[in-house]
Amino acid sequence: MINVDKIREDFPILKRTVHGKPLVYFDNAATSQTPQVVIDAIVDYYSNYNANIHRGVHTLSQEATDKYEQARIKIQKHFNAKEAYEIILTSGTTDSINRVAAGFATLLNAGDEIIVSALEHHSNIVPWQMLCEKTGAILKVIPMLEDGSLNMEAYHNLLNEKTKLVFCNHVSNALGTVNPIEEIINAAHKVNAAVLIDGAQATPHIKPDVQALNVDFYVASAHKLCGPTGVGMLYGKQEWLEKLPPYQGGGEMIATVTFEKTTYAGLPHKFEAGTPNICGGIAFGAAIDYLNSIGFDEIAAYENELLAYGTQELLKIEGLKIYGTTKEKTSVISFNVNDIHPYDIGSILDKLGIAVRTGHHCAQPIMDFYKIPGTIRASFSFYNTKEEIDVLVAGVKRATMMLS
């Protein structure tokens, strides 16, 4: 059972005010807040062992290297990757996706097919469009249904011997829909297609087991997981990481260099050119430790309570419509009220100290499907409370009265 009052003490930012009001932070799907233990890990790095990693013989470099590689192992164990070298540390989910897309540019031919879902964030659409333009591959789309779920019958009909890659988010950032990724992965593998799952929105709520999923690639960002910005992870099966070429050239990713030929380092360094975000990687590991100390079962159960309560209370507002109503979803509520523009309501909520996201949420195809310009998105985390939801509901009512 989560002790939310105790947990809130771990997050310094939750004590601040905005426009003279207590901060109510409901923009967790964009980025989560950072607990003191993660802030301490960042300060500790810069205060005590700030140095470049992997090649230094001096004490600071060795300490930084040990901490960085320990963080990789924490991430490996959290996602249950078979080997630590299957975890590539990147600058975030978008970077991770682009690394895979760049690698497949050498493996695809004209007429090959790539499948994405209609629920994707732009970062899981645009790289594949660019890949298709470069290779002549064809992009196919799994359509969505009115409740915000995927049309799985249509997905199965899209699969064929030309399908080489399937990309899908684990959870929709715009709607909170939890996609049936086990079914998606298993069906793709039957036609020998590789699968990448975008876990950016899932990992704050769900603890994925990449071996049990049998997924080829899984990507995520630290800043969704109470960690810092600018760091993320790419899990890839060893067989795929060995097959793909390096993403960038430079230091760290080489074994030998002459003017005649360069040979590449083994995994994971083959995909980690240049000086990485050392502090970010270490803090990512600290964030993983923090979340596991609370427990993901406890987090999910509590957030489901918040989702149910928030849905119930918001639907009491006349003219309010929620988008994405499938049963399988995380603690995200996307809504509009009558024909009021989301930005206008969001601006008034900000004056009341309430942080929500407004707009298309980098998911314009979803907004096009519903024939709307955007939504107001309230996304709850384990440090939020039902009392804060009451403040949100009162704020939406007030904004609606002012704008009607």
- Separation in Å, CA 360 to CA 29, 37, 142, 252, 375: 13, 33, 19, 39, 7
Q: Six-digit token pair at 8?
A: 């809130």
Give the whole-angstrom CA distance, residue 79 versus residue 210: 6
For 111-253, list the strands marked E by DSSP: 113-117, 138-142, 163-169, 194-198, 217-221, 232-236
Could you tell me the two tokens for 304? Answer: 């489901």
Question: What is each CA distance from 363 to 54, 230, 282, in whole angstroms?
Answer: 39, 21, 31
Asked if 92 and 223 count as a contact pair (C-beta separation under 8 A), the reply is yes
DSSP state of 222: G
Of 122, 83, 117, the closest CA to residue 196 belongs to 117
Has 132 been annotated as catalytic? no
Distance CA 301, CA 2 (A): 9
Q: Specify whether the CB–CB gap between 149 and 326 falls below 8 A.
A: yes
Please tell me which residue in 132, 226, 279, 362 is annotated as part of the active site. 362
Residues serving a catalytic function are: 362
